[in-house]
């Protein structure tokens, strides 16, 4: 049953769909998907084309907008929008430490999670599309990992698309996870250098925090064990438009003087807990590296292994000299399944996924080379999360794809630059720019 309600300027409707867990077995087990339909209040009764939004991640539900926030305002001028919680996220049969034991033990959980990659998401979208549009193709807007899914969509079911728009999400078609992270660590180092150039006082602040964590056992209020590696992973913030500023404000509140000496402040610990915990999106940690698995090679904790090739990220070595402590970026490590109480019960499941050697290809280069769907992509110069060179190489491999390469925005340009980013990309697909 669907329910409609109003927010300022928009009518929202809860939509529920039943799809196969395994699209290769359409008569087998099913799961439930949730999506939120949004339409401008003054156009609620009109027959409008549809735009499907695919969120970044993997492992995050779709944006919970209030009214016509961010890019949604621009989209509602032309479309009826469907904000899909991809399988395993949000209200779509969530996959968490609480629910996954329903599948059985770690082996059964890992096998279950192999069906939560882009190929399954695309087939979900096709099942939903036939129900929502009556079979008419729709426009897809993919942000970050949602862009990866969009490239899979162009590979697997281009007949379902009238237009494709991608922001910060053109993946390499053939890079192994090792290649992705070898390209990533130098980008992260550049972002950290830029942060320290902007806030030079943070060099010493970060060193003091790292030194404290190397000599103290710190457990945050929610049970998260704050190690120096976990602290460094706060560098994930540096890929967003306001991330450097938010990191600076976090660091300046780090210590408070107590009768027992300097301690990490409650304010710092509470903020760090919210930034580091995977309680709200555990699927991200479980399947993140699998989005780069496309052949018989295991991902095998690629980010952790490749990090060893960049010794400048070793905080203890930095503190032994006068080098700055480097933050890290969008990487998942085995130690996260020890420090985070939301992930600890899933450690063995994660190990089994990291060891898999039967990943199927997610992209079809031949079909992409023959593409006929209008496609436009925003590629952010020196994007911290998605390698620019990889993205541009893929752009050249997709027939008719038009790029907008810009250094005006970071990875979150769709949010920070709305409505300009979506407006520009739609214009490119319509040959209006």
Distance CA 387, CA 306 (A): 16
Distance CA 109, CA 120 (A): 16
Residues 39, 68 contacting (CB under 8 angstroms): no
> Long-range contacts: 317-322, Cβ < 8 Å, 24+?
318/207, 318/210, 319/207, 319/210, 319/211, 319/214
Distance CA 342, CA 327 (A): 23
Question: In which region does residue 409 sit, left (phi positive, over 0), alpha (psi from -120 to 50) or beta (all else)?
Answer: beta
Q: Is residue 141 helix, strand or coil?
A: strand
Is 144 catalytic? The answer is yes
Angle, alpha carbons 243-379-181 (nearest 5°): 70
Q: Which of 85, 281, 411, 412 is catalytic?
A: 411
Between the CA of residue 411 and those of 80, 155, 169, what are the distances in Å? Answer: 25, 24, 9
Is 411 catalytic? The answer is yes
Number of alpha carbons in the 13 Å side-chain half-sphere of residue 51 = 22
Q: Which of 25, 27, 217, 358 is catalytic?
A: 358
Between the CA of residue 158 and those of 73, 83, 318, what are the distances in Å? Answer: 27, 20, 50
Q: Which of 144, 152, 277, 290 is catalytic?
A: 144
Residues 291, 119 contacting (CB under 8 angstroms): no
Residues 171, 146 contacting (CB under 8 angstroms): no
Q: Which tokens hold the place of 16?
A: 């529920």
CA 10 to chain centre: 26
Is 423 catalytic? The answer is no
Which active-site residues does the annotation give?
A: 144, 358, 411
């Amino acid at each position: 049953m669907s329910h409609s309600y109003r927010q300022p300027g928009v009518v929202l409707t809860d939509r529920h769909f039943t799809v196969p867990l395994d699209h290769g077995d359409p008569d087998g087990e099913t799961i439930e998907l949730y999506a939120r339909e949004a339409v401008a209040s003054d156009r609620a009764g009109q027959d409008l084309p549809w735009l499907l939004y695919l969120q970044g991640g993997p492992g995050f539900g779709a944006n919970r907008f209030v009214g016509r926030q961010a890019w949604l305002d621009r989209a509602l001028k032309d479309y009826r929008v469907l904000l899909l919680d991809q399988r395993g996220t949000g209200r779509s049969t969530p996959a968490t430490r609480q629910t996954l034991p329903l599948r059985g033990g770690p082996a059964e959980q890992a096998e279950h999670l192999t069906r939560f990659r882009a190929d399954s998401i695309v087939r979900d979208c096709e099942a939903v599309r036939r129900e929502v549009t009556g079979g008419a193709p729709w426009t897809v807007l993919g942000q970050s990992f949602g862009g990866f899914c969009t490239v899979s969509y162009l590979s697997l079911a281009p007949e379902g698309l009238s237009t494709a728009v991608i922001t910060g999400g053109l993946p390499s078609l053939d890079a192994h996870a090792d290649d992705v992270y070898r390209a990533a660590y130098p980008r992260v180092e550049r972002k950290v250098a830029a942060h320290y150039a902007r806030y030079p006082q943070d060099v010493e602040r970060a060193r003091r925090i790292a030194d404290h964590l190397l000599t103290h056992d710190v457990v945050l209020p929610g049970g998260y064990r704050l190690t120096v590696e976990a602290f460094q992973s706060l560098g994930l913030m540096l890929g967003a438009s306001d991330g450097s500023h938010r990191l600076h404000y976090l660091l300046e509140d780090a210590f408070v003087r107590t009768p027992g000496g300097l301690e990490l402040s409650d304010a710092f610990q509470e903020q760090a807990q919210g930034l580091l915990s995977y309680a709200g999106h555990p699927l991200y940690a479980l399947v993140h590296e699998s989005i780069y698995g496309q052949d018989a090679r295991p991902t095998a904790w690629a980010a952790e292994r490749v990090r060893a090739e960049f010794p400048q990220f070793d905080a203890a070595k930095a503190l032994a000299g006068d080098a700055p402590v480097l933050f890290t970026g969008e990487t998942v490590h085995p130690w996260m399944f020890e420090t985070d109480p939301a992930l600890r019960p899933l450690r063995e499941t994660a190990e089994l996924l990291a060891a898999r050697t039967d990943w199927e290809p997610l992209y079809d280069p031949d079909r992409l080379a023959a593409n006929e769907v209008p496609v436009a992509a925003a590629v952010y110069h020196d994007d911290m999360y998605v390698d620019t060179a990889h993205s541009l190489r893929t752009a050249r491999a997709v027939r008719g794809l038009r790029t907008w390469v810009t250094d005006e925005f970071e990875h979150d340009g769709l949010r920070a630059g709305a409505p300009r980013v979506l407006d520009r990309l739609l214009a490119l697909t319509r040959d209006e720019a």
